[in-house]
Structure 1
Amino acid sequence: MAIAIEEVFPNSHHRLCLWHIMKKLPVKLGGHAQYKMIKKQLKTIVYNSLTVDECDENWLKMIEEFKLENNDWLKSLYEERNRWVPVYVKDHFWAGMSTTQRSESMNAFFDDYVHSKTSLKQFVEQYDSALKKNIENEKKLDFVSFNSIMPVILGHSIERQFQNAYTNNIFKLFQDEIRGLMFCDVSLLREEGITLIFEVVENMLGNNGHPRREVSFRVHYTELDCQLKCVYRLFEFRGILYRHVIKVLMRMKVIEIPMRYIMDRWRKNIKRGYQSISNIYDDYGCDGKRLRYNTLTPLMQEVQQLGVENDGICSVLVKIMKDTKEKLIIAMDNGQSMVEQLEEASTSGAKVIHSPLKFVNQEPSKPSSTVSVLSSLMLFLEYRFVMYASL
């Protein structure tokens, strides 16, 4: 899978499953005389480390204390720590999903559609059915968000700003952070140029029934453009402002935050491109125009998302699209021969990517590599789910 992911999704971040790793502790370390102490320390390092340096330092101390230098399993985990330890993956956006939650959400997504004996061909078909059902459910939830208003807790202008922008489900998550403000105290530590550095002390609930403990977080705030940076990096990880940052904003009497802190994917007024994709197995009864529309829509949505990244990319994209539009108009006026010339020019030198159905339907006498099958399957899933996963 790692090879296929790197080939098909070169710009993605591939994580290992934290839940499966921690599940192996009894098997890999259960025979050690101090297993319970090792397990306790390892869980503390994995779940409670706030910085990379803190994680590395405590890991090496644990290895030395329990003389685990020759444990190949722990050694391999440490080498791959940037793919599974939470403090290492928080720099990237994961919609707030830990590996366990991700596994549970995927299981729920495929309920009633796939099972342990589902073939690859059946999976491709059932995946599309599951996606269609999920889109229908999202449209119902969007309708509810547009036609009902979640009550505010504090009534602060920032809370009302998110109330107007977020879907109901996301606003509920944001209000959890509002409730958490009662456990946070903020104080100004120092100024570094135009940046103010605050300390937010939170009285956090301990793990596994342990008593609450005070944990200190540093939040950097620049008033000029309302730049915020927290060591906990929950916004980068979840896409929702965390209580530590909200506490600082309220301390600085900010009444409205910049729109960059309200992700498009959480907004109730956003047009979700993937929702316009029809089920490919229902399209056989549609006319050709509808089929072509369904083919072009996901590609146009993806190009649009790339174009809004910055002014330079947007300008280049506008020029390309205008030029393409003019050529298409000329081609339509000049008949099929011009269309054929455009098609030949657009496909010359292009890399051929086969449909996954070619692999899942081929005869046993013509085996393909596992990587080729996975790569093709991922390309198919990317087409069907790209806007849902990356909007």
Structure 2
Amino acid sequence: MEKQFQQEYTTSMFRDVQVEFVKKANCRASVVTEDWPVVRMKVEEEKLVDDTMICVSYVVHFDRSTQEVRCECNLFESSGVLCCHCLEVFHSFKVYKVPSCYVLPRWSKNIKRKHTYIKSSHDVSRSDVSHNEFKELCAHFYNIVQEFINDEDETNLLHAALEETRSKLSEHRAKKKSESVAENHTSIGSQHSNVLGVVDIQAPSLVTTKGRPKSKRLGSTLEKSFKKSSRRKNKNAYPVVRSNIYQDTSIGDPIARTVPEQVRSFMSLLSSFDKS
């Protein structure tokens, strides 16, 4: 029932209905008398008044055949909202959908207001198409009624013609709606086939990545200073000492000695002179 009111009523009116749904939790219903199809119910509502819990009883009449309900609090008759006592009776008889007579059109958000087609002195400059067409149709119908209203047979013929015209218009609207639905399905199918027919899929274009330039990276100056200091240390380092074996011409035996790189090259030069 709450979902039904939510779909029909405006937001402000639905909040008033929700208040009664919350109060329904404090109600208890019991059968007093039953005279088919009308059942007389007693609904006890618990209320908190000045930190004191009191129980107030209400008499509710429920019709099983028509599902009509009437409470002696007369909240629906005064404000157009079903009271919590009626909601509790509906719940007791497992009525999960409120009859349409209790969903008032004046609170509905789905109804099309007919008074919007009537022009007033406040919108004289307004020239809406719907207003103009409504005005022309009303004038045409008014002239026809004025001409054939005096005879009862002519009036009945006019009623029959209006009902026939209404049925034709309803059929035309339904046919037009079905054709629009078929066109939408056809267009969706053609778009799907076009998408499947695409074979050549191009790669996305290259985009230059964004970010901080390398020269402005944090700590770059510190790393440069470290590199410079390491270069200076390499320049000032002693020559590398390597272990080589050379032929001593005076003795004639190979002797393993550790000599610097420059000395090794000088000794090889001497040995070449001795051989020559």
| TM-score normalised by length of structure 1 | 0.33
The answer to which structure has the higher strand fraction is 2
Identify the structure with bigger relative contact order (alpha carbons < 8 Å, sequence gap 6+): 1
- Greater Cα radius of gyration, structure 1 or 2: 2
